Amino acid sequence: MKYVVSTLFILICFSCANDKKSEQIDYTIQNEQDITAYIAENNLTAQKSTTGLYYVINNPGAGEQPSASSNVTVAYKGYYLDGTVFDQSDAQGISFSLQNVIKGWTEGITYFKEGGNGILLVPSHLGYGSTDTRSIPGGSVLIFDVSLISVN
């Protein structure tokens, strides 16, 4: 009897663990469709990187170009596809290391030089993933209007 109870407990725990893994949703296809629809609806001329990041360069800038390990100062506004703003800096921007932000920023900011600005359209796999993080719902496409003020 003890053996049966232990085996049942292990099977239940294994089943629970597998259920948690199956809750991870791959939003790649849906994000791609949502981003391309947004680009078309807003008449944007966007480029797509090999990682799936879309970006629009309004002004490439003329100063120093950061690398993925640079410290930068960026002014930005972050919003969802429906236009709801979830975060923004003031005009002076904020300073941070590109190694300490979401992958979409680590990659996307490097497409600009100082003084440059544009839009980053970040699929969830380059943002906060498929699970809710702070106030950001899992699977969210994030859009950022960015201005690279300086490479520090």
| 72-97 confidence digits (pLDDT tens) | 999 999 999 999 999 999 999 999 99
In a domain, 110, yes or no: yes
- The percent of residues in the chain predicted with pLDDT above 70, rounded, is 85
pLDDT at 128: 95
Give the residue numbers spanning the domain of 98: 25-151
In a domain, 46, yes or no: yes
In a domain, 16, yes or no: no
Query: In the block, which residue shows the tokens 């725990």?
Result: 13
Domain total of the chain: 1
Model confidence pLDDT, tens digit, residues 84-131: 999 999 999 999 999 999 999 999 999 999 999 999 999 999 999 999
In a domain, 42, yes or no: yes
In a domain, 4, yes or no: no
CA distance 83 to 141: 11
In a domain, 12, yes or no: no
In a domain, 33, yes or no: yes
Model confidence pLDDT, tens digit, residues 136-152: 999 999 999 999 999 99
CATH number at residue 119: 3.10.50.40
> Phi first, then psi: what are they for 120, rounded to 5°?
-110, 130
CA nearest neighbour of 109 among 45, 138, 80, 152 = 152
